């Protein structure tokens, strides 16, 4: 038996809805085919954007979407993606598969996508191969109402009012594909670029500096020391691999139970990563004004056999659902520092919530986790102490239960995952006298997945009882994640 003890008097604050954000890059079949099929496609669409995908994203309440990359962002020139489609510049996507990018999905199409989904845009500007002027004019194009040539251009392209884009990333992975810079150099570059990321009227940009990869605390230290006063957010990227090298990341579907635990153990290191970067940030920003923006996270396996290695297409099993459950619980518990997170990536790439094949669409187990966690968005985080045994193997030992909790209008939501591959676990929720309880669960054998011919993985109601003392008790099946609603 495991116990989750809620303490409603202790909270780290509000869980920003943006923790449930997504990331869509011009990579493989994420944008083209996955999101954008063009107006002439037989696949139902609104102005070229797939209706089925938009509906699926709306259902999980996607709050914010990062675009156009990733590595692609530092080769993207926004002016190539505006104006009549037939005259848009063609380029080769050198980062991802060497395919032709015809720029038919550009700035206006992205903003249309965000409007259809009902989410905020988060634009990652080009620092690596762009100029300050190019970025400054992109901000102006999106946010200004002035009568400038740039704004007249927007109006000529069909958009009268400024969109008022709030979230701006200044470079992506500037330590790697974004320019291979040293932190000292990037800190100065960042200071310069952000100066020209201007406020227009009420539209004050939330400026996000490129942060560290993984556990590179030195990068965070230098950025905070040199540029903290100029930033609103600092990004961080962390991917979970199962294999031990980038050449051998492991299979998405063919893995042993040992590898299941190894993957979850590695995903759980998000706790150490956030605590570590938070500690560095706190030395310079004790008020926690600057948000840690985990704008790339998720599993990264070898591509599905027979697919383009540059497209990063991978299947998604219950193991991925458990990675998402553990990670989102960690973000919730660190909501005082984590202001946004963006799973990589929305459709057909890495730990996707949606897979498509022609007109067919599949909701992955990871999509269902976002569905189960939706109630946490903008909830007040509630401290929950988890008393649990361990699971895994000698080499990959981890807590059996992962949980987080929030409250809205007197209703508590606890999300709890049983990471054990084979054994069920009784769970007692205590600390508050509850009178009502409901639960939904996603569970199954660790390899189970949804595919284009059958989608067995879905949520189902889970039995839960409230005892005379006000505790709620339920049994979590093996490899399960549940949303528990209590009042
Ligand atoms: O998400 C795939 C790639 O991973 C992104 O383009 C890059 O930022 C990261 O290395």
pLDDT score at 151? 98
Q: What is the pLDDT of residues 313-350, one digit of tens each?
A: 999 999 999 999 999 999 999 999 999 999 999 999 99
Q: Which atom of ligand 1 is nearest to the CA of 172?
A: 8
- Residues in a beta bridge with 170: 125, 209
Q: How wide is the angle at C-alpha 333 spanned by C-alphas 117 and 60, nearest 5°? A: 20
Q: What is the number of the ligand 1 atom nearest to the C-alpha of 96? A: 6
Tens-place pLDDT, residues 360-402: 999 999 999 999 999 999 999 999 999 999 999 999 999 999 9
Write down the pLDDT at residue 30. Answer: 98
Among protein residues, the one whose CA lies closest to atom 5 of ligand 1: 70
Check residue 332 and give its pLDDT.
98
Instruction: From the candidates 173, 381, 425, 483, give the one annotated as an active-site residue.
Output: 173
Atom of ligand 1 nearest to the CA of 23: 1
> In 10 A of CB 156, how many CB atoms?
10
Measured in angstroms, how far is the CA atom of residue 326 from the centroid of ligand 1?
21
From 173, 303, 343, the mutation candidate for ligand 1 (largest count of ligand atoms within 8 A of CB) is 173
How much is the pLDDT for 203? 94
CA of 238 to the centre of ligand 1 (A): 10
Q: Are 212 and 224 in contact (CB under 8 A)?
A: no
Site to probe by mutation for ligand 1, drawn from 71, 125, 169 as the one with most ligand atoms within 8 Å of Cβ, is 71
Considering only CA atoms, which residue is closest to atom 4 of ligand 1?
70
- DSSP letter for 26, please: S
d(CA 322, CA 90): 40
Of the chain, the end-to-end C-alpha distance in Å amounts to: 22
- The Å distance, Cα 185 to ligand 1 centre, comes to 21
Average per-residue pLDDT for the chain: 98
Pairing of strands 2-7, 425-430: parallel
Q: What is the whole-number distance in angstroms between the Cα of residue 472 and the centre of ligand 1?
A: 42
CA of 43 from ligand 1 middle (Å) equals 28
Q: The tokens of 171 are what?
A: 């470079």
Active site residue 296: yes
Residue range 133-168, pLDDT digits in tens: 999 999 999 999 999 999 999 999 999 999 999 999
Q: Which residue puts its alpha carbon closest to atom 7 of ligand 1?
A: 70
Tell me which residue has its CA closest to atom 6 in ligand 1. 70
**119 three-state secondary structure:** coil
User: Which residue ranges in the chain fall short of pLDDT 70?
Assistant: none
Res 436: pLDDT: 97
The tokens for 2 are: 């495991």
Token pair, residue 359, equals: 């007109």
Distance 71 CA to ligand 1 centre (A): 6
Give the pLDDT confidence of 61-71 residue by residue, as tens digits: 999 999 999 99
Site to probe by mutation for ligand 1, drawn from 70, 180, 237 as the one with most ligand atoms within 8 Å of Cβ, is: 70
Q: Which atom of ligand 1 is nearest to the CA of 296?
A: 1
Find the helix or strand (DSSP H, E) in which 151 lies: helix 149-156
Pocket of ligand 1 (CB under 6 A): 25, 69-71, 172-173, 296, 344-345, 350
Cα of 70 to ligand 1 centre, how many Å? Answer: 5
Mutate to test the pocket of ligand 1, among 29, 34, 69, 351 (most ligand atoms within 8 A of CB): 69
Distance 295 CA to ligand 1 centre (A): 10
Looking at residue 481, its pLDDT comes to: 98
Tell me which of 109, 120, 259, 296 is the catalytic residue.
296
């Amino acid at each position: 038996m495991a116990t989750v003890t809620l303490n409603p008097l202790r909270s780290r604050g509000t869980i920003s809805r943006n923790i449930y954000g997504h990331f869509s890059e011009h990579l493989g079949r994420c944008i083209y085919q996955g999101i954008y099929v063009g107006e002439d496609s037989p696949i139902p669409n609104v102005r070229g954007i797939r209706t089925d995908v938009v509906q699926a994203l709306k259902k999980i309440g996607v709050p914010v979407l990062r675009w156009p990359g990733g590595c692609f962002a530092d080769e993207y020139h926004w002016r190539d993606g505006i104006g009549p489609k037939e005259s848009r510049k063609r380029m080769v996507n050198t980062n991802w598969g060497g395919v032709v990018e015809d720029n038919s999905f550009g700035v206006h199409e992205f903003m249309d996508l965000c409007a259809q989904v009902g989410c905020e845009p988060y634009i990652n500007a080009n620092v690596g191969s762009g100029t300050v002027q190019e970025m400054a004019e992109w901000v102006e194009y999106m946010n200004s109402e002035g009568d400038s040539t740039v704004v007249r251009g927007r109006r000529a392209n069909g958009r009268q009012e400024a969109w008022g884009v709030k979230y701006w990333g200044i470079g992506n992975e500037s330590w790697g594909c974004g320019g291979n810079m040293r932190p000292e150099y990037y800190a100065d570059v960042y200071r310069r670029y952000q100066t020209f990321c201007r406020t227009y009227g009420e539209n004050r940009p939330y400026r996000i500096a490129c942060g560290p990869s993984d556990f590179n605390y030195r990068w965070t230290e230098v950025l905070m020391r040199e540029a903290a006063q100029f930033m609103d957010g600092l990004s961080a990227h962390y991917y979970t691999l199962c294999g031990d090298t980038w050449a051998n990341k492991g299979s998405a579907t063919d893995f042993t139970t040992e590898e299941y635990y190894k993957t979850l153990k590695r995903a759980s290191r998000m706790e150490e990563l956030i605590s570590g970067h938070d500690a560095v940030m706190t030395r310079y920003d004790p008020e926690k004004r600057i948000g840690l923006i985990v704008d790339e996270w998720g599993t990264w396996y070898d591509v599905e056999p027979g697919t383009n290695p540059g497209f990063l297409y991978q299947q998604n099993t219950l193991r991925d659902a458990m990675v998402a459950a553990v990670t989102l619980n960690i973000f919730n518990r660190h909501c005082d520092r984590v202001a946004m997170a963006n799973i990589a990536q929305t459709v057909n790439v890495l730990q996707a919530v949606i897979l498509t094949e022609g007109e067919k669409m599949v909701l992955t187990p990871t999509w269902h986790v976002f569905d189960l966690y939706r109630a946490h968005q903008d909830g007040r985080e509630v401290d929950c102490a988890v008393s649990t045994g361990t699971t895994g193997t000698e080499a990959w030992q981890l807590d059996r239960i992962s949980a987080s909790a929030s409250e809205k209008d007197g209703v508590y939501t606890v999300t709890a995952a049983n990471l054990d591959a084979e054994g069920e676990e009784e769970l007692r929720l205590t600390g508050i006298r509850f009178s009502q309880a409901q639960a939904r669960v996603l569970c199954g054998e660790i390899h189970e997945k949804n595919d284009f011919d059958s989608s067995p993985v879905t949520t189902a109601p889970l039995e839960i009882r409230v005892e005379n003392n006000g505790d709620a008790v339920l049994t979590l099946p093996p490899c399960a994640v549940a949303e528990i609603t209590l009042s």
